[in-house]
Every structure is written in C-alpha cells, then in structure tokens.
Structure 1
Amino acid sequence: MEQSFDGRSVVIAALVGSPNYNLKEANSDEDWKYLVSPSFDDLYDGTYYTQSHNSPERDFTVHDIRRFCQLLGKGNPYFLEILFSIKVYATPRYHDLLEQLIEKREKLASMNRPGLYRACIGHSKEKIKNLRKGTATTKDAVAQKGYDTKEALHAYRLLDLLERYYHYEWDFGRAIWYPEEERGPLLALKSGAIDNKEIDCYLQEKVRRLQSLERYYNNELVQIKTKKWLEEKIRLAVLLNFLH
C-alpha cells in the first residue's frame, strides 16, 4: 500500500467498486480510494488535495481525509462505501481510527438519510443524462450498444441501493451486497441486454418508483451527535499526523 502522495501521509486505503457489490467480473479492473492527511500548507491555505490515476490495470483517486468527513456527513454513497469495502487498510498509526469507523459504520451510513437519498438520485440522473457520451474505456460499448452500459449499471445500482436500504430496514452492508441469486439482472444490464431504445425509460421508471420512498428517507433527521463524533475523530487524526 502506498504510504504517501506528494508528502501527504495515507490514512486509509480502500478497494471500491464492483467487488464490494459482488458484481465483479473477470475483466473488471481494480479501483482504489486513498484518504490522506492534509499538509501544513493545505491547512493554512484552506485547500483540499486530490489526485486521480487511470490505467488498464488499476485506477485510483486520492482525497483529503477532511473531504471524506464532509462527504460522509452529506450521505455520499461513494465515500460511505469505503467503510464497507472488502479490502480496507490503514497505515499503522491510524489502525485505531479505522477500527472505530468500521465499528460505527452503520450509524455513519444512516447519519444523513435525506442526504443519501438526494445524492443517489442526483448521481443517477447525471449518469442517465450522459449515457451516450462514453469514456475512453466505454466508447466501444457506446458504438456497439448505443449507450454506455457501465454507466447504465451504475445509475441503476445507485437507485436500487435506496430501495434495498429501505427494504432491508436500514442495513447498508446488506443493501450494497448482491447475493449470487440476485446478480443476474445487474450483470445483464452491464452486458447491454436492454435495447438502446428502452434503456432511458427503464431507468426513468426506476427513478419514478423511488419517489414513494422519499418520505421515509426525509423523516429521519440528520444525526448531529454522530456527525460531531466523526468530525472529532478526523480532527484528531489530522493532529496525530503533525505529532509524528
């Protein structure tokens, strides 16, 4: 595991993406997120370090751990996933922090349910809007199927997460993981099983169905006590970096 990026110490590293949903296929690459402690200049200037790297074998992004704290507080599903990763590590001085975060991960997942709902809906709509743009790695799928099948899967999975989280009585770990018998429809979606003429309606219908769940998410107030606990833990982690 990398120890630092541009002089910023790694706090936590986590595998993200399809392995955490049990949707990994043989040709899937690995995606990692690294959370780093800010430098003195970052703190003084009020800036947040970020970096990304893409290659055929491995992609990763790097984020200031203070940003992780902020986005967790907003219910961002991509950063919540870090706490439920099948591979998550901390550098030695931060082992206690990681253990405490994992122990409290279900409370952290439910800390801002209204925010989680808005984030999943917002990210999904953005992906639906960009279905036919494609990227360097998905342009072949767009040419062959007429749309970005990977983006379609991501959009559907985020919407499905909201539905599953509610039906599994707010068990986030269970909601993101697909048992073998439930993987088929999502992998079929990724393979382009739904026709180009039907995919937009298929996803928009999923969005419409979820509107009936919005009130259940919004009924839960942001858990201020949990949010303050998280902020204090991250504050201490940043301080620890400057004491070593």
Structure 2
Amino acid sequence: MLDRKLCFKALVGSHNYNLQTEESDKDYKIFFYPNFDDLYEGGKFTRALVSDDEDVEYHDIRKLPNLLFKSNVNFMEVLFSEEYEVYDEALFSKLFSLREEISKINLPYFYDACFGMFLRKMKEYHRDKEKDLAKKTYKHAMSAYRILDFLERFHNNSFSSFKQAIQYDLRDSARELLLNIRNGTYAYEQLEIMIEKKINQVKLLEYKYKSFEVNNDLKGKLDLIVKESVKRALGLK
C-alpha cells in the first residue's frame, strides 16, 4: 500500500457504538487511491493487517460508491465514525457533507442487507454454541441483536440520524442489555426468546423501508466525486 496515496482512515466497530469492552481492539478501514498499474490492470485491492492492538482493512476508494449504494452498513459506518485521519480533505469533505443523504440512498436494500447480516451472525452463534465456545457465542448474539435493534432505531428516528441509531448513550438501557448479552448474563434459551421477539418487531418495519425509492441520482454523484478525485490524485486531466 505504500505506493498508493491514502484518502482517509476511519474507526469502525464497537468503539463507534459505545459498546467496547476492555478486550476490544480498535478496528479501522483505510481507503486509498489506485496507482496507474491498478487502473491499467483493472484491479481493486483489499488487504487486512492485524496487530496486537488494532485491525486495519485497506480498500480501493473506487469500491466505496457501490458499497454505499448497496447499503453495506459496515461501510456506511465510515461516514459516521468517532475517529478519523483525513489525507484528502477535498474528497472527504464532499462525502461527509452528503452522509445523511447517503445513509438513505437505498433503504429497500438496506433492510435486506442488515437482515442478511443478522442471519450470518446467528449462523455463527449456532456454530459456536455447538462447539461450546460461550465467549464467542455471546459475542455473536450481541452482534445479531444489535443489528436488529439498529434497524428499529433508525426507523424510529425517521431515518434522520444514522449515528443516533448506531451509537448507544451511556444512559441508554439498550446499551446495558447489549452488554449483558455479550457478558453471558442470559441463558441461551432466554436469549433466543429475546432475539425471536426482536425479529418479529423488526419484520413489521420491512414495508416502511421498502416504501422508499432508490436514489440513483445520488449514486451518480458519488461515482463522479470519486472519479474526479482519482483523476486529481493521479494528476490526470
């Protein structure tokens, strides 16, 4: 990555949600500009680096518009982070100024993407439950419940604040519940009843998410912002 210009670095994960524990590492996503060889060969690289205190994923900035359009919540989060290192202020300021619009760019797909993430976390939950790996099992359960809770919270604030929906205030009773899930306070049977109840609540919101139109104009704007920024970074006309 050293031969590629960086765009920005954003904190992601539990520290953004105010759900970190003493054991939580810091996770980051770094976006970079392609070099000439990337453009010529058509490659869009992703790389993960892990150290004792932080995990870092590197992503080609050209991927970001599609990831946001597909409402990948793990990438949408980079526009609402608690910690940034900005290397290209011009690009970052344009994306940041549009972040609330971007969070609603494709709400029908957003619902499906989040629910799909929930199902993956539940698959991991059942896998590690079978292996009797309680620590991992409860972490998966918390993640699964949090994703459903996020869909409900985002709906409840009328899709006006992604950050308010994803982040838990210290006084928020939902924060205590989620940390209790992670800490293994609830027996598996009780926990699964709680999750099933949450599923039923969130399924009632599907119609609302899917009543919104997809914002194709904004997708075009994001494509153009990134395209112009890549041209500028590489000194192209």
What TM-score do the two structures reach when normalised by structure 2?
A: 0.91
Is the contact made by 1:146 and 1:196 (CA closer than 8 Å) also made in structure 2? Answer: no
Separation (CA, whole Å) in 2 of partners of 1:129 and 1:116: 20
> Is the deviation greater in 42-51 or in 231-240?
42-51
| Equivalent residue in structure 2 for 1:231, among 214, 219, 223 | 223
Separation (CA, whole Å) in 1 of partners of 2:120 and 2:35: 33
Q: Which runs of 5+ in 1 are unaligned?
A: none
Separation (CA, whole Å) in 1 of partners of 2:50 and 2:144: 21
SS at structure 2 position matched to 1:47:
coil
Is the contact made by 2:27 and 2:54 (CA closer than 8 Å) also made in structure 1? Answer: yes
Separation (CA, whole Å) in 2 of partners of 1:178 and 1:214: 23
Cα distance, 1:28 vs structure 2: 1.5
Which residue identity lines up with residue 45 of structure 2 in the other structure?
Y
Separation (CA, whole Å) in 1 of partners of 2:222 and 2:166: 22
Change (3 A) 1:54 1:146: closer
Superposed counterparts of 1:9-20, under 5 Å = 9-20=5-16
Which residue identity lines up with residue 167 of structure 1 in the other structure?
N
The equivalent residue for 1:155 is: 144
| Equivalent residue in structure 2 for 1:121, among 115, 125, 128 | 115
| Equivalent residue in structure 1 for 2:52, among 26, 37, 56 | 56
Cα distance, 1:209 vs structure 2: 1.9
Is the contact made by 1:121 and 1:159 (CA closer than 8 Å) also made in structure 2? Answer: yes
> Is the deviation greater in 78-87 or in 218-227?
218-227
Separation (CA, whole Å) in 1 of partners of 2:9 and 2:97: 17
The equivalent residue for 1:172 is: 162
Which residue identity lines up with residue 54 of structure 1 in the other structure?
V
Q: Among the aligned pairs, what percent are the same residue?
A: 33
Pairwise CA RMSD: 1.9
Q: Which runs of 5+ in 2 are unaligned?
A: none
Which residue identity lines up with residue 98 of structure 1 in the other structure?
F
| Equivalent residue in structure 2 for 1:40, among 17, 36, 43 | 36
Equivalent pairs, count = 232
Cα distance, 1:9 vs structure 2: 1.7
SS at structure 2 position matched to 1:187:
helix
Separation (CA, whole Å) in 2 of partners of 1:201 and 1:10: 45
Which residue identity lines up with residue 105 of structure 1 in the other structure?
R
Cα distance, 1:181 vs structure 2: 1.8
Which residue identity lines up with residue 173 of structure 1 in the other structure?
K
What TM-score do the two structures reach when normalised by structure 1?
A: 0.88
Separation (CA, whole Å) in 2 of partners of 1:40 and 1:133: 43
Cα distance, 1:231 vs structure 2: 1.0
The equivalent residue for 1:99 is: 93
In the TM superposition, structure 1's runs of 4+ consecutive aligned residues that sit over 4 Å from their partners are: none
Which residue identity lines up with residue 152 of structure 1 in the other structure?
A
SS at structure 1 position matched to 2:188:
coil
